[in-house]
C-alpha cells in the first residue's frame, strides 16, 4: 500500500459510518472486486472526498454477470425489483440487504454493459476498487436533473430525488469550474 492509499484509509475510516464500513468489508471479502464497479453514492464519495464531506447511505454496484455476485447473493437476503430510476440491461435492480442486528443497508446492483461508461480505480478503505469516473458521475447527475423535475415527473415527482441530483451536480460542477479557473486551491482539502 502506498502513502496515498494510507492517507485515504485513515480518511475513509474516519468518515464512512460503521455499518457502511462493515458492508464494504463484506463485499471485499465475498465478491471479486475486479468484476464489479461502484456507482452512485460510493462513486460520488470517492470522486469528491478530496474536496467535500459526502455521506454514504446505501451501496450501488454495476455488474455484467450475476454469477459474479453469487457469493453475496447466497449470504444475504436478495430481491429483484423493476428499476424505476435507472436504466439497466434487463430493467431490474438486484437488492441485497446487509443486516447487523436491527439495522440494515441495501446493496443495490444494476446489470450493465461495462463498455458504455468510463471507470477508474481508486483506494477505498485500503482496497483498490473500480468506480464510475468523475466525468461520468458528473454527467449522470447533470443529466438526471431535468428528468426529475415536477413538470417531467408529474404525480411521480419526488423532491428528494431532484434535490439529490441537483446537489451532487453542483459539487461536481464547482470542482470543474474551479479547476478551469485555476482556483481549485480555494477549496480546503479533506485528505490527511
pLDDT tens profile 3-49: 345 568 999 999 999 999 999 999 999 999 999 999 999 999 999 99
Q: Is the pLDDT of residue 115 over 70?
A: yes
Q: Is the pLDDT of residue 170 over 50?
A: yes
Task: Look at residues 54, 170, 47, 45 and name the one whose alpha carbon lies nearest to residue 118.
Answer: 47
DSSP codes joined into one string, 5-29: HHHHHHHHHHHS-HHHHHHHHHHHH
Q: Is the pLDDT of residue 103 over 90?
A: yes
**What pLDDT is stored for residue 167 in this prediction?**
93
**Contact of 50 with 191, CB cutoff 8 Å:** yes
pLDDT tier at 149 (50, 70, 90 boundaries)?
confident
For 43-57, 104-118, 139-153, 162-176, which range has the lowest pLDDT when averaged over its residues? Answer: 139-153
**What pLDDT is stored for residue 81 in this prediction?**
74
Residue 31 has what DSSP assignment?
S
**What pLDDT is stored for residue 165 in this prediction?**
85
φ, ψ of residue 49 to 5 degrees: the values are: -60, -25
- Average pLDDT over the chain, rounded to an integer: 88
Q: Is the pLDDT of residue 77 over 80?
A: yes
Q: What is the dihedral of CA 9, 15, 17, 23, to 10 degrees?
A: -30
Cell numbers given for 176: 470543474
Task: Look at residues 56, 61, 100, 60 and name the one whose alpha carbon lies nearest to residue 77.
Answer: 100
CB atoms within 10 A of CB 175: 19
CA distance linking residue 91 with residue 112, whole number of Å: 10
CA distance linking residue 9 with residue 25, whole number of Å: 13
CA distance linking residue 181 with residue 175, whole number of Å: 10
Q: Is the pLDDT of residue 189 over 80?
A: no
CA 174 vs CA 10, 33, 50, 58, 142: distances in Å: 26, 31, 13, 24, 12
φ, ψ of residue 145 to 5 degrees: the values are: -60, -55
Amino acid at each position: 500500500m502506498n502513502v496515498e492509499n494510507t492517507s485515504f484509509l485513515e480518511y475513509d475510516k474516519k468518515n464512512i459510518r460503521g455499518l457502511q464500513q462493515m458492508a464494504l468489508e463484506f463485499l471485499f471479502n465475498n465478491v471479486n472486486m475486479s468484476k464489479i464497479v461502484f456507482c452512485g453514492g460510493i462513486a460520488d464519495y470517492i470522486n469528491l472526498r478530496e474536496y467535500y464531506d459526502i455521506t454514504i447511505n446505501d451501496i450501488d454496484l454495476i455488474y455484467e454477470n450475476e454469477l459474479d455476485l453469487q457469493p453475496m447473493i447466497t449470504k444475504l437476503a436478495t430481491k429483484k425489483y423493476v428499476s424505476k430510476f435507472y436504466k439497466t440491461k434487463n430493467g431490474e435492480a438486484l437488492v441485497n440487504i446487509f443486516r447487523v442486528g436491527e439495522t440494515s443497508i441495501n446493496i443495490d446492483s444494476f446489470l450493465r454493459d461495462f463498455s458504455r461508461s468510463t471507470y477508474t480505480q481508486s483506494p477505498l478503505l485500503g482496497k483498490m476498487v473500480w468506480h464510475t469516473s468523475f466525468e461520468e458521475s458528473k454527467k449522470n447527475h447533470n443529466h438526471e436533473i431535468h428528468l426529475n423535475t415536477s413538470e417531467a415527473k408529474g404525480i411521480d415527482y419526488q423532491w428528494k430525488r431532484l434535490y439529490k441530483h441537483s446537489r451532487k451536480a453542483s459539487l461536481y460542477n464547482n470542482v470543474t469550474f474551479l479547476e478551469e479557473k485555476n482556483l481549485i486551491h480555494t477549496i480546503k482539502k479533506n485528505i490527511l
